[in-house]
Structure 1
Amino acid sequence: MPGWSCLVTGAGGFLGQRIVHLLVQEKDLEEVRVLDKVFRPETREEFFNLQTKTKVTVLEGDILDAQYLRRACQGISVVIHTAAVIDVLGFIPRHTILDVNLKGTQNLLEACVQASVPAFIYTSSFDVAGPNSYKEIVLNGHEEEQRESTWPDAYPYSKKMAEKAVIAANGRRLKDGGTLHTCALRPMYIYGEKSPFIYVRMIKALKNNGILKSAGKFSTANPVYVGNVAWAHILATKGLRDPKKSPSIQGQFYYISDDTPHQSYDDLNYTVSKKWGLRLDSSWSPPLPMLYWLAFLLETVSFLLRPIYNYRPPFNRHLVTMSNCVFTFSYKKAQRDLGYKPLFSWEEAREKTSQWIGSLVEQHKGTLNTKSQ
């Protein structure tokens, strides 16, 4: 597979950056184009300072600009599409989420057809499979079960419809007469250094005397380390470009997990931060059914107030369900078709995440010291 090129959308994000770091280690990669709407100055600098012979081209542009996307795709061999708006609380307007997550994906698929890009890998989410009820129990689920989210909330709906568009686009005729081959990866909840979700939780805990507020104590999840999700994208890229492997991957979706033990979201947050003195909230919390109906009540209040006031509830039924159910998936299909095996062990992932949290604790201490002087 001589000299090829890759476009990564959402390249400034938590996962996108990790994918780029692994991509530039590929010997035959001539160019990687990193695309995002806006790059933070430190991210831009990081890309410029990558130790690699691969050409790194930084592109700032909107995924809703079809003409821009077509230019960005010219001469590209593979598109890895990670760009998305993640919002499970409804803080971002529904039309914005649908525009970026669904319309943006459709725009990018069309740009691939027009620019004759033969391979497209989509970063989906386990959220497209549910859970649809907090009573639902899925342990080591697999792709053949054909689970589908029924939530009307903008995020799961937009990701589900975008994934369907990607899978449906497999086999489309390209402008140069070639064929578009697509696949989708469904990572579990992604953790690791620079996780925006963990960052918010840790900063709140540090401001709250080291007490971690509950993120879902009733759940059984199989979180996945960001480095392993990035590695799965590299393997999918190689697989779709390999004439022998490609036929079994085309038009498929894959759950991406790793060997992180099954645990609650609360236990994960505690495990990676306890070394630094953080601890779980021991105060009373309502039973799960009560929490669910309280969320329903808050959503109703929000709906009734909408004509006069934009009330945003602190949680909703989708979040309560997702954060408190038994919902885990196996990576056996990815292992079989993509040759996927986790690049990082649970011990390594835990240690790397914990060290990063340690740096946040030090920064917080520094901030407190500055304020007290």
Structure 2
Amino acid sequence: MERALITGVAGFIGSHLAAELLRQGWSVTGLDSRSAASDPVAGENLAVLTGDPRFQFVRADVTVSDLMILSEGVHAVFHLAALAGVRRSWGDRFGDYLSCNVLGTQRLLEACAAADVPRLVFASSSSVYGQGGGKPSREDDQPLPLSPYGVSKLAAERLCLAYARQRRVATSVIALRYFSVYGPRQRPDMAFSRIMRAAVSGRAMSLYGTGAQRRDFTYVSDVVAATIAAATADARAEVVNVASGRSVPLSEARRAISRFVGSDVPAQRRVAQPGDVEATTADLTKATELLGYQPKVDLEEGLRRQWEWIAGKDCPAALAMTEAVR
């Protein structure tokens, strides 16, 4: 039985990753600074894991806790703990982003190196690219992040590669640049979650910009598949895109959600925020070659699954509407 350590396990992607690793027979230690008692969203995510005897939850903070003990005997570390959010990263909170995203990563790298952990998989972000230049972003493009959040993720990514390239260090690294991940249990502040919850409540959602901005939306199970493949891929220090390979306007996604709901989702337009990019799209050549990655869930199906989860959780009558539009 292989043993994994997941940081940020109480988060959206972390909890999905842990559930799939357990399904595949791994033993999983999950670390997070949040707990079910302190955070209802974390509690909801952890609820899908806590009944499995091969799962151990440890409440710990990557910026201060003893990570060496947790790393011992681990075959792969999946580092997903981070302070997320482009818009919130401006101003006097940037110190928190540096502490969690950069210092926390450096401390984990030190622990992995000391414990001879074979592989660390780091959750990076498409935010490191910036605008992307209107063509699919490749891993060898010059990164030009447009937000403090993007800067912090790029710094952490470069730290990971620097540690992996040291002589006599056992830990190899693959940094995965995730593009706009969505699905059941998506963070409440993210676009699809806000649109769908507005549909359930009948209240208008905040729409930043025109809605014409394009994103390479990636379903969470595809992200999980790529992340697990990265644990055993033949690599020493690599960066890899993980996306759907298709860039879609946010307005198109809103229309798809409206079809499930049966009516338009009300929106209150707001000005575009600093750090928001016009378009993201990924070149998946490297992901295909190195990870054998092929995204399987298209946007229509992924949105349906996320809507049915939110509708079933928040409003049983709304779930019936999704059946009517099938």
* Shared fold, TM over 0.5: yes
Give the greater-gyration-radius structure (CA): 1
Residue 180 of structure 1 corresponds to which residue in structure 2? 171
Tell me the equivalent position of 1:333: 286
CA distance in 2, matches of 1:364, 1:95: 44
- Percent of aligned positions with the same letter in both sequences? 23
Q: CA RMSD in A?
A: 2.6
Whether contact under 8 Å (1:276, 1:358) holds in the other structure is no
Distance 1:49 1:282, change over 3 A: closer
For residue 269 of structure 1, report the CA deviation from its aligned partner. Answer: 3.4
Candidates 194, 214, 230, aligned match of 2:207: 214
Deviation track 1:173-214 (CA, whole Å, cap 9, x = no partner) reads 5xxx6522111000111111111113334334544x464442
Paired positions, count = 306
- Residue 322 of structure 2 is matched in structure 1 by none
Change (3 A) 1:220 1:178: closer
1:147 matched to 2:147: no
Task: Give the Cα separation in 2 of the matches to 1:273 and 1:61.
Answer: 40
Indicate conservation of the 8 Å contact 2:176/2:242, yes or no: yes
Match of 1:165 among 142, 159, 183: 159
Hey, what does 2:228 align to over in structure 1? Answer: 234
1:79 and 1:272 mapped to 2: Cα distance? 36
Within 5 A, what are the aligned runs for 1:1-373?
Answer: 3-27=1-25, 29=26, 31-40=27-36, 41-50=43-52, 55-66=54-65, 68-90=66-88, 93-131=93-131, 137-144=133-140, 146-151=141-146, 153-173=147-167, 179-196=170-187, 197=190, 198-204=192-198, 206-207=200-201, 209=202, 211-216=204-209, 217-239=211-233, 246=234, 249-258=235-244, 261-280=246-265, 291=271, 316-319=273-276, 322=277, 325-359=278-312, 362=315
SS at match of 1:328: coil
Report the residue type matching 2:17 in the other structure. I
Kept in 2, the 8 Å contact 1:102–1:158? The answer is: yes
Distance 1:42 1:213 in 2: 25
Q: Deviations over 1:80-133 (max 9, x none)?
A: 0011111222377111111000100001000101122121110000001112xx
In structure 2, stretches of 5+ residues that fail to align are 37-42, 319-326
Shift of 1:7: 0.3
Amino acid in structure 1 at the alignment position of 2:259: K
CA contact (8 A) 2:217 2:299 kept: no
SS of the equivalent of 2:248 reads coil
Describe the shift of the 1:35–1:265 C-alpha distance in structure 2 as closer, same or farther (beyond 3 A). same
**TM-score, normalisation: structure 1:** 0.74
Structure 1: gaps (5+ residues): 240-245, 292-314, 366-373
